[in-house]
């Protein structure tokens, strides 16, 4: 998925000022997002030589925030200032009069992600404890995510969200996707709050925004809603304004003249319908749409150094999965179907957390919840979690029944 804005732009003179306009061209936190890609690549590969190459970039980004973060006066949290939620502005006293604030949710999420990941990387790089202690101190003082008065995930540090806001950006859901802080099994309260925010935004928007929403609905484990957006995203259009999604005759995403985010984003979201590995396990068929009752998938890489070589399903249920272990270690599988390995029924794991650090969820601070916020945690589909010890280079054939 492409980084969605111009705020990381530069030129031959290494411009560091606002790009295009003051209300949407200032974004000091893009370095945290860049570093998320660096760490995610390590989680997929487990390659410590690669991590040694990129760790100085992560460390340098943290050093920037150690100097840049400031205390906000009400709660004494450390926050980014100036900060803003890309291209959106809050409605305060019935008016949109400002954009730049302090401590927007997206910035809070990205800085937390950077520090959390860098602490883990520092441990692998034998970093001095004084540096990691300073990072942990900051992590403990960052602003937590908040559930607002109508049950939504707040976009700003204050409860300014308008339930009728249909803005194309959903920046405060970065912690759901591409981040790993909000998930069904790790943070169910925030998971439902993010869902409420996304419902409030609506489905129709520019093509790139609909691509984002495919990814978000996949992470919300709602394959049918994601499929609805996929079909609308692929709907042929010649609309030059591109405000209702669709695809131009040349297969470019409909946003004049076009933005590749919609093409890449929709593809990324489709992959997440079949396999996810951000929430403590490799989840097979986490959000399969009802219309795709049978099929075959090949060659999906997962965190932990695993590859789903081939997976088949029928009547909406997993039948077989062939998984290659590229680097060895514990393979943690989550599925709605009981599994067999080599003809023997697997026993579900009793461990709450996998011992494979490349597959572990990202722990977060406890969210703050508005006094009258409607909080409801529905029951999710029953799943089974299995831990399988693997050796590098071996394949593991999992079946839904003794075959």
pLDDT at 16: 60
At 18 the pLDDT is 64
How large a percentage of the chain has pLDDT more than 90?
72
Helix (H/G/I), strand (E/B), else coil: 130: helix
Report how far apart, in Å, the C-alpha atoms of 309 and of each of 293, 312, 345 are.
Answer: 20, 11, 21
CB atoms within 10 A of CB 372: 8
pLDDT of residue 22: 63
Render the burial of 168-207: b for 16+ CB within 10 Å, e for the rest. bbbbbbbbbbbbbbbbbbbbebbbbbbbbbbebbebbbbb
pLDDT at 4: 41
Q: Where are the alpha helices (DSSP H) in 140-288?
A: 188-201, 207-219, 223-233, 260-274
- Take residue 44 and report the two structure tokens written for it: 């997929």
CA angle 41, 46, 51 (to 5 degrees): 65
DSSP assignment letter at 214 = H
Comparing 21-30, 155-164, 173-182, the range with the smallest average pLDDT is 21-30
Two tokens at 400?
């839904």
How many percent of the chain have pLDDT more than 70?
Answer: 93
Res 178 pLDDT > 90: yes
State yes or no: pLDDT of 341 exceeds 90: yes
Farthest-apart Cα atoms in the chain, separation: 65
For the stretch 110-128, pLDDT in tens is 999 999 999 999 999 999 9
Query: Are 298 and 292 spatial neighbours (Cβ–Cβ below 8 Å)?
Result: no
Beta strands in 96-197 (DSSP E): 146-147
Per-residue pLDDT of 250-301, as tens digits, reads 888 888 777 888 899 999 999 999 999 999 999 999 999 999 999 999 999 9
pTM: 0.94
CB 284 within 8 A of CB 308: yes
């Amino acid at each position: 998925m492409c980084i969605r804005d111009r705020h990381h732009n530069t030129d031959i003179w290494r411009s560091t000022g606002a790009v295009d306009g003051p209300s949407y061209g200032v974004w000091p936190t893009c370095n945290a997002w860049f570093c998320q890609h660096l760490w995610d690549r390590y989680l997929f590969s487990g390659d410590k030589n690669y991590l040694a190459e990129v760790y100085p970039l992560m460390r340098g980004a943290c050093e920037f925030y150690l100097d840049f973060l400031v205390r906000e006066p009400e709660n004494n949290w450390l926050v980014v200032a100036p900060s803003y939620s890309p291209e959106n502005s809050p409605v305060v006293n019935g008016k949109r009069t400002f954009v730049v604030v302090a401590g927007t949710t997206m910035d809070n999420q990205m800085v937390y992600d950077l520090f959390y990941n860098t602490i883990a990387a520092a441990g692998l790089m034998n970093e001095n404890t004084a540096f990691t202690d300073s990072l942990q101190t900051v992590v403990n003082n960052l602003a937590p995510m908040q559930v607002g008065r109508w049950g939504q995930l707040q976009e700003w540090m204050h409860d300014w969200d308008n339930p009728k806001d249909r803005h194309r950006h959903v920046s405060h859901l970065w912690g759901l996707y591409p981040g790993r802080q909000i998930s069904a099994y790790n943070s169910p309260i925030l998971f439902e709050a993010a869902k409420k925010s996304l419902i409030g935004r609506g489905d129709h928007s520019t093509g790139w925004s609909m691509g984002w929403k495919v990814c978000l609905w996949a992470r919300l484990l709602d394959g049918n809603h994601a499929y609805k957006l996929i079909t609308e995203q692929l709907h042929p259009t010649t609309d030059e304004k591109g405000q209702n999604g669709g695809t131009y005759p040349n297969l470019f995403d409909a946003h004049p003249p076009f933005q590749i985010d919609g093409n890449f984003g929709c593809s990324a979201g489709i992959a997440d319908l079949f396999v996810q590995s951000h929430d403590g396990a490799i989840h097979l068929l986490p959000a399969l749409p009802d219309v795709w009752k049978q099929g075959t998938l090949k060659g999906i890489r997962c965190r932990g150094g695993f590859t789903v070589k081939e997976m088949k399903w029928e009547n909406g249920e997993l039948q077989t999965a062939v998984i290659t272990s590229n680097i060895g270690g514990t393979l943690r599988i989550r599925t709605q179907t009981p599994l067999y390995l080599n003809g023997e029924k697997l026993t579900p794991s009793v461990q709450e957390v996998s011992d494979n650090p490349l597959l572990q969820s990202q722990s977060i601070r406890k969210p703050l919840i508005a006094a009258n916020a409607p909080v409801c945690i529905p029951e999710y589909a029953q799943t089974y979690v299995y831990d399988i010890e693997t050796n590098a280079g071996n394949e593991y054939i999992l079946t839904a029944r003794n075959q």
